[in-house]
């Protein structure tokens, strides 16, 4: 099993998010309408949000277990989180963004900068500032940043949401390659049925 | 009464202000951090206390400092045990200047810390950076222009400090007679008009320069490198 997730969290607003699923290798889509708590589930798996109760196991490693008191710090979970808004560091160039994770972890992981920039087609962007990038370019850099951090699994939060149709097609093809060639388990949040049908081997419905 | 020589007064003012702001910088940053990010009971009270020097009559602030740093005061006693005192010394003037500058420094720094997108810090943590590393590589660099703007603003405020200083450490030529105190003395000296003009012009130039520098820095902080200014 790649992802084994059982989590529950109540927010100050009174809203409650609950999810329970297990998925195999490849790309699993977390599918549902806006507000169903899909992003909260990703944040809990990444360690950015603490569940009230539950258990999170990824590729056999327990990242959170409320009953056993296990809560691995986000920096030790080795997850590659691709945010909806790319969320690049504005004060680093593309190169600095890509290498941030490798520097923080002190290891480059299995992938090298040259391989990843070639794979994603961003070698020509290395010296640019994030604010000068188009939406599609920024999202590719964000995927590269996640891959280069030595991630053992990927969390993607509607990475196509802020892109136009042509860019969507481009990034979707790229995600297919990441899925097929790198063999990392991917949890992919979306509310677009066509997107999910094309990318996902398995679908978890929420909400 | 002789007119004070011009440049020693300016040099003393610069020394007092720079030392005061430099010593207060870490304290102001810690307070700004607590007010921007902290969640604790009494936060409103702390906010009020930090801003007190802004609204209290400066003579009261000076008097409170005098009580605290008197040889029997809660800060003066440990200093006296070390054989040190700040009363009627330039170091005391620096303390008075720093305390009066504190609210302005904290305000500017707090705004810049609040402007840092916490989601970027979350992204940094998922990339393998611990809390300290996130602070050093994301939070601090993004807040830095605002922190510097706060320091420069504090410096400008320190240069002009009068009431708390004269109350706390008196008006001693060469020791605590900073620019505003020298102007005050010159005003009370027959024939001191030329001296007043010179000192006042210097005060205007220093204050204006610091204000412009501070404004330029905070604009850069507001825009960030994500905005239009590099």
Query: Over A47-67, what HEC string results?
Result: CCCCCCEEEEEECCEEEEECC
CB contact under 8 A, B128 and A131: no
CB contact under 8 A, A89 and B120: yes
What is the C-alpha to C-alpha distance for residues B28 and B98, in angstroms, rounded to an integer?
Answer: 10
- For the stretch A61-99, pLDDT in tens is 999 999 999 999 999 999 999 999 999 999 999 999 999
Pick A104's closest partner by Cβ from B119, B128, B230.
B128
Q: Which of A80, A85, A71 shows the shortest CA–CA distance to A105?
A: A80
Task: State in Å, rounded, how far the first CA of chain A is from the last one.
Answer: 23
A90 φ/ψ angles, rounded to the nearest 5 degrees: -70, -20
Nearest CA in chain A to B132: A104
What per-residue confidence (pLDDT) applies to B228?
Answer: 31
What is the C-alpha to C-alpha distance for residues B221 and B199, in angstroms, rounded to an integer?
Answer: 33
Q: How far is B130 from chain A (nearest CA, A)?
A: 6
Q: Which of A198, A155, A105 shows the shortest CA–CA distance to A2?
A: A155
Whether residue B132 lies within 8 A of chain A, CB to CB, comes out as: no
Contacts of A89 in chain B (CB under 8 A): 120, 123-124, 138
Contacts of B129 in chain A (CB under 8 A): 75, 100, 104
What per-residue confidence (pLDDT) applies to A35?
Answer: 84
Q: Which of B158, B160, B146 shows the shortest CA–CA distance to B221?
A: B146
Contacts of B125 in chain A (CB under 8 A): 47-48, 73-75
The answer, yes or no, to whether residue A129 has pLDDT greater than 70, is yes
Mean pLDDT of A11-15: 90
- For the stretch A36-54, pLDDT in tens is 899 999 999 999 999 999 9
pLDDT tens sequence for chain B (230 residues) = 456 688 999 999 999 999 999 999 999 999 999 999 999 999 999 999 999 999 999 999 999 999 999 999 999 999 999 988 999 999 999 999 999 999 999 999 999 999 999 999 999 999 999 999 999 999 999 999 889 999 999 999 999 999 999 999 999 999 999 999 999 999 999 988 999 999 999 999 999 999 898 888 877 765 544 333 32
The residues with which A55 forms a beta bridge, in sequence order, are: A6, A65
């Amino acid at each position: 099993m790649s992802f084994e997730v059982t989590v529950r969290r109540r927010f100050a607003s009174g809203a409650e998010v609950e999810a329970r699923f297990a998925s195999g290798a490849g790309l699993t889509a977390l599918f549902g309408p806006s507000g169903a708590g899909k992003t909260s589930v990703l944040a809990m798996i990444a360690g950015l949000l603490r569940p009230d109760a539950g258990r999170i196991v990824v590729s056999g490693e327990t990242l959170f277990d409320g009953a056993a008191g296990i809560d691995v710090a986000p920096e030790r979970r080795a997850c590659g989180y691709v945010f909806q808004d790319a969320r690049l560091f504005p004060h680093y160039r593309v190169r600095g963004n890509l290498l941030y994770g490798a520097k923080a972890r002190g290891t480059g992981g299995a992938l090298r900068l040259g391989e990843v920039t070639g794979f994603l087609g961003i070698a020509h962007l290395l010296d640019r500032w994030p604010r000068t990038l188009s939406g599609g370019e920024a999202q590719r850099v964000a995927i590269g940043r996640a891959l280069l951090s030595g991630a053992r699994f990927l969390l993607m939060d509607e990475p196509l949401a802020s892109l136009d149709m042509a860019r969507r097609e481009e990034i979707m093809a790229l995600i297919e390659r990441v899925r097929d060639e790198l063999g990392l388990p991917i949890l992919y949040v979306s509310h677009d049925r066509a997107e999910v049908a094309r990318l996902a081997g398995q679908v978890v419905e929420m909400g | 009464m002789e007119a004070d020589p011009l440049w020693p007064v300016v040099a003393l003012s610069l020394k007092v202000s720079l030392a005061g702001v430099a010593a207060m910088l870490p304290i102001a940053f810690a307070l700004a951090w607590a007010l921007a990010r902290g969640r604790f009971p009494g936060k409103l009270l702390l906010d009020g206390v930090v801003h007190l020097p802004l609204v209290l009559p400066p003579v009261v602030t000076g008097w409170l400092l005098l009580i605290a740093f008197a040889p029997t005061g809660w800060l003066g006693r440990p200093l006296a045990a070390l054989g040190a005192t700040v009363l009627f010394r330039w170091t005391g003037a620096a303390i008075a200047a720093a305390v009066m500058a504190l609210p302005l420094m904290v305000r500017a720094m707090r705004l810049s810390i609040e402007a840092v997108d916490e989601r970027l810090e979350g992204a940094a943590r998922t990339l393998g950076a611990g809390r300290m590393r996130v602070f050093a590589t994301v939070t601090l660099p993004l807040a830095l222009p605002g922190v510097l703007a706060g320091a420069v603003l504090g410096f400008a405020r320190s240069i002009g400090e009068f009431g708390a200083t004269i109350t706390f450490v008196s008006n001693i030529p060469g020791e605590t007679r900073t620019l505003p105190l020298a102007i005050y003395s010159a005003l009370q000296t027959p024939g001191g008009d030329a001296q007043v003009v010179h000192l006042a012009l210097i005060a205007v130039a220093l204050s204006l320069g610091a204000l412009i520098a501070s404004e330029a820095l905070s604009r850069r902080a507001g825009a960030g490198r994500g905005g239009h200014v590099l």
